[in-house]
Structures are given as C-alpha cells and as structure tokens.
Chain A
Amino acid sequence: MTDFWIILTGTLVAATCGILGCFLVLRKMAMVGDAISHSVLPGIAIAFLISSSRDSMLMLFGAAVLGLITVFLIQLLQNSGLQSDASIGIVFTALFAIGVIIISRNAAHIDLDLDCVLFGEIAYVQWDTWVWNGYDMGPVAVWMLGGTLLIVLAAIGLFYKQFKLCAFDPALAAAVGIPVALFHYMLMGLVSLSTVASFESVGAILVVGMLIIPAATAYLLTDRLSMMIVYSVLIGAISATGGYYAAKWLDASIAGAMVTVAGILFVLAFILSPSHGLVARLGKRRRMNSAAA
C-alpha cells in the first residue's frame, strides 16, 4: 500500500504540473514557475501562524494569494522597464527570504521543517490521512492533489482554445477580444495552487522539475499542443513511478529521484527524438553538407 500511495501522489503531482508546464514552456515563462514555487513560502508560513495548524484550505489560500502577488510584482517591475529575468530573481528571492525569516522567528509555533520545503517528504504521505466520520479516507495529500488536478482539468478543458491562443500569440488573442490578462493570472493562479498542493509532499524543487522537465521533453516530441499535454503527463507519470523504485533501490530521496528520472527522459528525447532530436538534426545537416559539396 505504501508503494501505491506514494506513486499515486507523485503521479498526481506530475499530471497537474505537466498540464500547466506546457503553457509555461510555450509562453517562455518556465522561470516564473520556479519563482512561484519558492515565493509561496511566506503565504504558507502566515497561514500556519494564523491557524497554528496545518489547515490545508487556509494554506492553499495563503499560497495562492502569494503566487498572484509574485506574478503581479514581477509584472510591475517588468513594466517599469526591467528585464524579465532580473525581475523574477529579485521578487522570488525577497519573498522566499521573508518566508524563511517568518518560519525561523516562530520556530516554536510553526511545525514546518525548512529542508522539507525544498525537497518535501513524500515518504510520509501515507501517514497523514483524512479521517471522515470515523472512516479512513486515505492520505490528505492525495485528496488535495486530486482536487487540484480536477480544478486544473476543468479550467484548461473549458478554456482550452483561449489558453492556446494566449500562449501562441497574446497580441492576436487581445485583438479578437480574449481578456489576456485574466487568463494570464488564471494560469498563474493555477500554478500557485498546484505548487502548494504539491509542496508538502514533494517540495519546491520537485514542483519546478515537474512543471518544466516533462513539458519540455514533450515539446521535443510533438508539434501539437494537445499531444504535447498528453505526452507531458505521461512522461511525468513514468518519472514518478520510475523515480520511486529508483529511490527505493538507492535508499535515497524519492522526490530527488523522480526529478532525476525526468531528467534522464529529457536527455533521451534531446538526443533521440525523431523530429527534434540531436541525432535527427545532425543527420539532416550531414545530408545538407553532402548536397552542398
């Protein structure tokens, strides 16, 4: 049962992040995902302080608010003429620093291990179960991640064509009357939500990995957005499963191993992808050379 719950949790994280990651990668906003996953920390810390418990709903809310603040601040700095990557760097480091300070000042009240923030503790997922009317309903993390996945699926499913057009050509989207800013913040809100839902179980870094790596791998395998999303989720699920067994075999961090497996899959696609891989490209170039000679 342990195996099952951990793999299920990992796969849920992978699926949620994999879907959103495609849009981040296409909009060249991968590092915004990185920023959000770090800067939700003060939101979580403040939620902790207010409720003095691990009240999941409040934490979700606090983190989502912080996620939106992050995006807003980055946008503000960018509009004032600052490069986007510098804006991202300034905002997320400042917010993360505030989070760490809140946690370390209130170490007695906040039962949140800082290491856990970075690498998560997916191995403990199964112990924190949701008891409802005396029945054991399974791990809380699974419910939270499942709910987040449903929200993400519903949002992307309902507004697929709007999200697609905003990712491809925001100017055109605005011209045809799609509220680009609204969808931008919606996407960012969803990213913050999934970051937080995944946070406790897998940590900030795995969230980043799962947001970016499977989506980028899928981007090397297909030219269609719908297929890219499907591949991305599949690659994420394979990484979660493979990572779990690799970690068990190595006796090491599960979250770290999941990202490592995702990285291996990326390298494979990078070299071997039939359409965009290194081998295919070199072959093409060689043919061209011989044609030129």
Chain B
Amino acid sequence: MKGYPLEVSHLTVAYQKKPVLRSVSFQIPEGKLIGVLGPNGAGKSTLLKAVLGLIPALDGEVRIYDRPYREQRKIIGYVPQRESVDWDFPTNALDVVMMGRYGHLGWFRRPGTKERQIAMECLAKVGMADFAGRQISQLSGGQQQRVFLARALAQNAQLYFMDEPFSGVDATTEKAIINLLHELKEQGKTVLVVHHDLSTVKEYFDHVLLLNGELVAAGPTEETFTPANLHSTYGGRIAMLADFATVPSGTV
C-alpha cells in the first residue's frame, strides 16, 4: 500500500462551545508504535474520534494510505475507551471478540465456526482463552480491556487506534498489551495509542504526537520527547514530570 498509514491536514474540531482541536496536521510512518500525548482536555481522544469519523470535523482532511477514510474502513482497528460501553450487556467475552469480524462478514451473514476460531485465537493472544464464556460484567477492568484488544486483533487491520488502553489496568494486562503492541509492530502494522503516563513513553513508543489543542510536536521519541516540548505541551504544571524526558533511555 502506498502513502502514509495516516495523514491528517488542518483538522479542526469543536464541541458545542469551544474549539478542541485547531488546525492539526501530521503524518505518521508505517510500522511504528505512536503515542498521542497531552494534558487533560488537550483533544487526544477527540483526535482519534475525528479521524475515525465518529464526530464531525469543522475543517480538514484525513487520508489513510492516501485514500479517504471511508474507503479504508476494513483495514482500521479501533479500541474505544472501556467506559464507552455498557458492560452489563447480555453477551460473553468470545462474542465481543467475534464482533471484530462483523465488518468482514457483511450484511445478513452470521458468524460461524471460522469466526469462532479466529476469535478464540485472538483471546488466547491476550491471555484470555480461559474466560471465553464469561459474561462480560464478571470480568475485571484489565480483563475487559484485553477483550477489547482481542476484538481489535480479530479485525485484522493494518492501522490500529487505541484510546487509553493502559488506563486503570493491572500489571498483567499492561504486560499483555505491550507484548501485543510489539507483535503488531513486527507484522508491519501501525498503532496509534492515546496515552497519559509520561513515565512509560520512552519505553513503549517509537514516535510521539504532543497535543495541546494544537499539535505541539511530532516525530521520533528521541528527538521529540524533550523537556522543551513537554513544557510547551503541559505548561509549567509539569516541571517535575519533565525529568522523564531527561532520563537516558538506556536506564529504563
């Protein structure tokens, strides 16, 4: 496939009253793990949702592998925030993962043994094979997050968007997510992750996007995740956290 996995130009988004994203433009390279960083209310999730067409943009263009988003839906995987759904919904873990295959099934066709098999494999990859038949409200927060990841895997996409997959999860889940991210990367897939724990950025991501209503900086982590850039993203509040950027990467 030619072109950048994701190319955003002049994207502007506003909620009822105030603008949330102002003229954001960037491209991301293929086969990398990219962290989207910024303070609360910086528009990180908004960026993801606008790119996915879940909320309307006032202005700007989003291209995926040099084509409009609409034509590329099948190669996109999405992991929404865990709070976005009702976990009391009558369904089990395996069923949720199978939902990832619906896009490939098309209208009217029902999921069959093949889909079930794929879903089981994806569950196994996130270490959740034993919980396939478990009602989703009976899972812990981390397990729910892993089910969502397995569902995204089942989509078998080229480009993944994940909205704060690390928030509020246990250590096992965090490790499972990291392993998964690296596996996806090895397969040449591109993953965009909204993230807010600055202490792990250098460890997890090849590239970062620093966002604060506008795009502050974008590029390889080494060059971009600098105290100066962090200061202009987070303002003075983050003086202490700026230390993360100065820690030599070897020690992490």
Q: How far is the CA of A291 from the CA of B58 in the complex (A)?
A: 12
Asked if A292 contacts B59 (CB within 8 A), the reply is yes
Within 8 A of B (CB), among A238-293: 281, 284-285, 288-289, 291-293
Residues of chain B contacted by A285 (CB below 8 angstroms): 14
Q: How far is the CA of A208 from the CA of B118 in the complex (A)?
A: 53
Interface assignment of B41: CB less than 8 Å from any CB of chain A: no
Within 8 A of A (CB), among B145-194: none
Interface assignment of B17: CB less than 8 Å from any CB of chain A: yes
Residues of chain A contacted by B14 (CB below 8 angstroms): 285, 288, 292
Q: How far is the CB of B23 from chain A (nearest CB, A)?
A: 7
Q: How far is the CA of A91 from the CA of B101 in the complex (A)?
A: 40
Range of interface residues on A (Cβ < 8 Å): under 10
Specify the chain B residue showing the minimal Cβ separation from A284: B17
Q: How far is the CB of B226 from chain A (nearest CB, A)?
A: 29
Q: How far is the CA of A81 from the CA of B88 in the complex (A)?
A: 10
Interface assignment of B235: CB less than 8 Å from any CB of chain A: no
Q: How far is the CA of A10 from the CA of B17 in the complex (A)?
A: 39
Residues of chain A contacted by B17 (CB below 8 angstroms): 284
Interface assignment of B12: CB less than 8 Å from any CB of chain A: yes
Q: Is the interface of A mostly helix, strand, loop or mixed?
A: helix
Residues of chain B contacted by A289 (CB below 8 angstroms): 58-59
Q: How far is the CA of A72 from the CA of B186 in the complex (A)?
A: 58
Q: How far is the CA of A285 from the CA of B88 in the complex (A)?
A: 37
Residues of chain A contacted by B58 (CB below 8 angstroms): 288-289, 292
Within 8 A of B (CB), among A51-101: 81
One digit per residue, 1 when the CB lies within 8 angstroms of any chain A CB and 0 when it does not, for chain B 1-43 equals 0000000000010101111001100000000000000000000
Q: How far is the CA of A289 from the CA of B12 in the complex (A)?
A: 9
Asked if B59 contacts A288 (CB within 8 A), the reply is no
Q: How far is the CB of A114 from chain B (nearest CB, A)?
A: 38
Q: How far is the CB of A123 from chain B (nearest CB, A)?
A: 44
Residues of chain A contacted by B16 (CB below 8 angstroms): 281
Q: How far is the CA of A81 from the CA of B137 in the complex (A)?
A: 12
Which listed residue (A81, A281, A284, A292) contacts B22, Cβ 8 A?
Answer: A292
Q: How far is the CA of A285 from the CA of B22 in the complex (A)?
A: 14
Q: How far is the CA of A285 from the CA of B14 in the complex (A)?
A: 9
Specify the chain B residue showing the minimal Cβ separation from A281: B16
Asked if B59 contacts A293 (CB within 8 A), the reply is yes
> B-side interface residues toward A, CB under 8 Å?
12, 14, 16-19, 22-23, 58-59, 88
10 pairs, CB–CB < 8 Å, chain A vs chain B: A288-B18, A289-B59, A291-B19, A292-B12, A292-B19, A292-B22, A292-B23, A292-B58, A292-B59, A293-B59
In the complex, the 6 A-B pairs of residues with the closest C-beta atoms, listed nearest first: A292-B12, A288-B14, A292-B58, A289-B58, A292-B19, A288-B19
